[in-house]
Structure 1
Amino acid sequence: MRFANYKFSGNQSNIDEFILLGFTNFNNKIQLFLLTLFLFIYIFTILGNFTIITVATLDSLLHTPMYYFLRNLSFLEMCYVTVTLPKLLHTFVAKRKTISFYSCCTQMYCFFTLGVTECFILAVMAYDRFVAICNPLRYFTVMNKATCFKMAAVSWVSGNLISLGQTASIFSLPYCGPNLINHFFCDIPPLLKLACTDVSANQIAVSVTGFLVLPLPFALVLYSYGRIIAAIIRISTNKERKKVFSTCASHFISVTLFFGTGAFTYVRVRTSDNPDNDKLLSLLYSVVTPLLNPLIYSLRNQEVKGGLKKLLHQKVGIKEMKTSGNVISSDDMK
């Protein structure tokens, strides 16, 4: 495996490309299995989230705050896996597993923009459910269109600004070699290990940023779901109680998986002695969570199922009308 090309500036050399090792340490059979598995995950994630966006957009009954944020989340998840998985799939089949310096920078910026934005979107969604369950009479007053738009906009803008600062900080460091990134995408911890300078200040900055964008939104999620659980307990009907609790529990599991693995990676910046552990953690929040969210948030939801059936029936009806029209036209011609 060759090392990177170098650009020399004075006494310091700068790497112009990195090598992503991914999961190439496994034998060919396992790599083929992983290639098939990740390809299936990517296709299913894209189709599942695209279905949610389509149904929630076309069905007027789903034009509510909850599904407005779900559309944002689904779009995030589609972008999230697109940033990482195609490059991961490429490492399984390509002889040159390189990524240019600027492509690596762009990948990190996009990945953390989406990740930070998702943290805030998940917190906003928990607050939305809190208002809907605990203050149903004020729900549409509190969560009006303007408020929902502002919440989503603040989430996206914050994600971009935080990611821009962190990416600029990481890629302003000197990288002199080696250029082997023992990961499947350009992540902060493995890149800090390659910098040929003291990175303690960067590690502190990443930990502080990780604390602000992970535990604090998660604290809001915990507060919201705590109030929701208290409200569920007061529900008199056992059937309704089970229905609400089941929905909230599945949401909370997904959120905990995302925040927990993300916090363990970025609040604890120093990587473990076994890089495979770090890859596994990254897979949980960057691949598994986007895969599960369509199932947890919407495809198990009766309203989304109803909207999907309605759209399918409409398409079938349109096709039948067109077919019928074509037959009549043929008879008239005769």
Structure 2
Amino acid sequence: MAKENQTLPEFLLLGFSDLRALQCPLFWGVLLAYLAALLGNCLIILLTRASPTLHSPMYFFLHHLSLVELLYTTDVVPRTLGDLAFPHPHAISFWGCAAQMYVFIVLGISECCLLTAMAYDRYAAISTTHSSLIFTLPFPSHPVIPHFLCDILPVLRLASAGKHRSEVSVMMATVVFIMVPFSLIVTSYARILSAILAMASTLSRRKVFSTCSSHLLVVFLFFGTASITYIRPRAGSSVTRDRILSLFYTVITPMLNPIIYTLRNKEVTKALWHMVKRQVSSP
């Protein structure tokens, strides 16, 4: 079995080559979202390091979330852009596919944990084994992955044996690393809602509710699309739908997180203007 895997030449990533009419708009959309994610997350990392007013636990988590987002998107998006720029699918080596999947899983789990910790911190303020096992399975001599990255399920479904047990393992891992953190986040925000309703001032309620609702939007986008992708059985899956859902948690949420979590925050805005003024006034 190990020998068979060693003789595998490479995986063929289908990407969006079967949707040629969408390749051009997808390329520009993904590129703009990626650049916005890079700019926003780099800005947050810079601000949380440079400004003494942002050295609280909340911004400690934001700093590390932005770092994870940078690595997370860079693991997937540059290759996706390269594939979208050409009409034909491109190959990825066996070990390249394994490395991308491993990094994607580790960073995805890290983001789940950070989002959970941030939700708990906000409430207090107001009131990788599977990837290595997959690559021990036998694969066809010329495997084609109908996806734009080496994600767990698309690669797993190429294997000729042991798929059922591995899919059950993926589902269990999804429950542990996605559904449990998501449940904790929902619980935290339910308590936040309770605290908001107990506030006497209508203006305070509106302000806190506006902030928390935007945070919940990102949480639902990330956890919702990821859980639908990994929990839905193969019989109910669609190749095109899986790829569109994957774009949400690999491209869209990393772009939205800097805007929603910090750039709407008055402390961060104040720190940003202070840094800009200091740079402008310095000789």
TM class by smaller structure: over 0.9
Match 2:14 to one of 21, 40, 47: 21
Count of matched residue pairs: 282
Give CA deviations for 1:194-239 in whole Å, capped at 9, x if unaligned.
1121311101111111101111111111111111111111111111
Tell me, yes or no, if the aligned pair for 1:272 and 1:278 is still in contact at 8 Å: no
Identity of aligned residues (%): 40
The 3-state SS of whatever aligns with 1:312 is helix
Shift of 1:13: 8.1
Match 1:203 to one of 149, 167, 179: 167
Tell me, yes or no, if the aligned pair for 2:17 and 2:84 is still in contact at 8 Å: yes
Task: Determine if the alignment matches structure 1 residue 267 to structure 2 residue 259.
Answer: no
Letter of the 1:270 counterpart:
R
Match 1:192 to one of 156, 159, 176: 156
Shift of 1:268: 2.6
Report the CA distance shift for 1:240/1:66 in structure 2 as closer, same or farther (over 3 A).
same
Match 1:74 to one of 66, 70, 91: 66
Distance in 2 (alpha carbons) for counterparts of 1:205 and 1:13:
24
Aligned Cα RMSD in Å? 1.9
Distance in 2 (alpha carbons) for counterparts of 1:13 and 1:243:
58
Distance in 2 (alpha carbons) for counterparts of 1:114 and 1:120:
10
Tell me, yes or no, if the aligned pair for 2:215 and 2:261 is still in contact at 8 Å: yes
Query: 4+ residue runs of structure 1 moved beyond 3 angstroms?
Result: 7-10, 93-96
Shift of 1:93: 3.2
Tell me, yes or no, if the aligned pair for 2:69 and 2:254 is still in contact at 8 Å: yes
Tell me, yes or no, if the aligned pair for 1:120 and 1:217 is still in contact at 8 Å: yes
Give CA deviations for 1:130-160 in whole Å, capped at 9, x if unaligned.
11111xxxxxxxxxxxxxxxxxxxxxxxxxx
Give CA deviations for 1:6-50 in whole Å, capped at 9, x if unaligned.
x9958x8842311111111123x5322222221111111101111
The 3-state SS of whatever aligns with 1:184 is coil
Structure with max Cα Rg? 1
- Give the structure 2 partner of residue 127 of structure 1: 120
Give CA deviations for 1:290-322 in whole Å, capped at 9, x if unaligned.
11111111111111111111101000111xx3x
- Give the structure 1 partner of residue 107 of structure 2: 114
Task: Determine if the alignment matches structure 1 residue 179 to structure 2 residue 143.
Answer: yes
Shift of 1:178: 3.7
Tell me, yes or no, if the aligned pair for 2:14 and 2:145 is still in contact at 8 Å: yes
Task: Determine if the alignment matches structure 1 residue 257 to structure 2 residue 210.
Answer: no
The 3-state SS of whatever aligns with 1:15 is coil
Distance in 2 (alpha carbons) for counterparts of 1:292 and 1:13:
40
Match 1:34 to one of 19, 22, 26: 26
The one of the two structures with greater contact order (alpha-carbon pairs below 8 A, sep at least 6) is 2
The 3-state SS of whatever aligns with 1:98 is strand
Report the CA distance shift for 1:269/1:118 in structure 2 as closer, same or farther (over 3 A).
farther
Shift of 1:109: 0.5
Shift of 1:274: 2.6
The 3-state SS of whatever aligns with 2:92 is strand
